[in-house]
Amino acid sequence: MTSIAVLGATGFVGSAVTSHLRQCGADVRIIRAPRLVAAGTSAEAIIEEASAYDGVVADLTRFLRGAHCVVNAAGLAGATGPAWRALCGANALLPLLVQRACRRAGVERLVHVSSAAVQGRVARLDESPNLFPFSAYSRSKALGEECLRRLGSRPHTVLFRSASVHGPDRSVTRGLARFAASGLASVAGAGKNPTPQVLLGNVSAAIGYVAVCPEAPPEIVLQPSEGLTTAGLLRVLGGKEPRHVPTVLARSLVDTAGGIGARSSWVAGHARRLEMVWFGQAQAEGWLAGKGWRAPLGVQTWQELAVAVGSKHRRGTSA
């Protein structure tokens, strides 16, 4: 497979995927993703809403014809916003329309960039269809997965679940780096729990592998772990040892915040971020690791990321 169409190619993940695929010699076609809104709160409702967008499907079909694979990196990120109709339109309705267009255009494979957030607070992330969303963002992503899994076997659709993706231009990364360098830097207990934090370059390489792999990947592919622990991540980003909060106290604070988050997506998103920083989350060894795929970037790139984020912050405060 060398002819690949990418939706969302100007976004955070999409631009990195496009660059990686071109470096690998693929013929990459950039497709503009339409902005949609939807109100559905179930897969059935989204599928029903999709019937009103046959014109969008027809346009996408025309653009996608001739591509062997389509990477859908379009969507709205942000665990603390924006409004539901925008999230649902970008993360649930659009993927369904793209899938239908791929079927009409004769595309062989669709790689949809989803999120590990669809499994919420499970003890261990895996490649199962089990969904436990906890916020508006994760619910919209979970709905997207549900809709795509209902269409059938054509095109072969891969739900690629990325963990928390980091790069120097992402606000979440800048906030985490500032936290790691501050006096508030802290983890729960010894800080030896694994944390699913990944570099943008590793995500784009993994998606590229899934897009061009000669054999058909499984229905769900999880971004492999980079082997970081909660304390190790803060050490590499902050250059110092974080404080160690007693586990019982940390869990009590997170659970309290989570309870408040049941009534507010904004609080739920921040509570989940705090829980990830303090407690991390384990993940199963998935298909990519089983195939022998290894992340090309390691600790040195994390260190370079910390320096880049620090430089941007200093320039911003001195401006």
- CB environment 288-301: b (16+ within 10 A), e (fewer): beeeebebebeeeb
**pLDDT tens, residue by residue, 217-243:** 999 999 999 999 999 999 999 999 999
Residue 247: pLDDT above 60?
yes
Cα–Cα distance between 125 and 163 in angstroms, integer? 9
Classify 87 as helix, strand or coil: helix
Cα–Cα distance between 110 and 98 in angstroms, integer? 9
**pLDDT tens, residue by residue, 286-299:** 999 999 999 999 99
Percent of the chain's residues with pLDDT above 70: 94
Structure tokens at 135: 């916020």
Long-range contacts of residues 29-32, Cβ cutoff 8 Å, at least 24 apart? 29/3, 29/4, 29/5, 29/63, 29/67, 30/5, 30/6, 31/5, 31/6, 31/7, 31/60, 31/63, 31/64, 31/70, 32/7
Residue 185: predicted pLDDT: 96
Task: Output the CA–CA distances (angstroms, integers) from residue 51 to 27, 32, 160, 288, in the order listed.
Answer: 32, 21, 25, 35
**pLDDT tens, residue by residue, 55-87:** 999 999 999 999 999 999 999 986 555 689 999
Structure tokens at 124: 């261990």
- pTM: predicted TM-score of the whole model, two decimal places: 0.92
Instruction: Provide the pLDDT confidence category of residue 273 given band limits of 50, 70 and 90.
Output: confident
Residue 62: predicted pLDDT: 97
Residue 303: predicted pLDDT: 92
Residue 80: predicted pLDDT: 55
Cα–Cα distance between 65 and 59 in angstroms, integer? 10
Half-sphere exposure of 272 (CA within 13 A, CB side): 27
Q: For helices 230-238 and 171-181, what crossing angle results, to 10°?
A: 90
**pLDDT tens, residue by residue, 106-116:** 999 999 999 99
Cα–Cα distance between 94 and 98 in angstroms, integer? 6
Nearest to 164 by CA among 285, 274, 33: 274
**pLDDT tens, residue by residue, 122-151:** 999 999 999 999 888 999 999 999 999 987
Residue 319: predicted pLDDT: 47
Average pLDDT score over residue span 239-255: 94
Instruction: Provide the pLDDT confidence category of residue 154 given band limits of 50, 70 and 90.
Output: confident
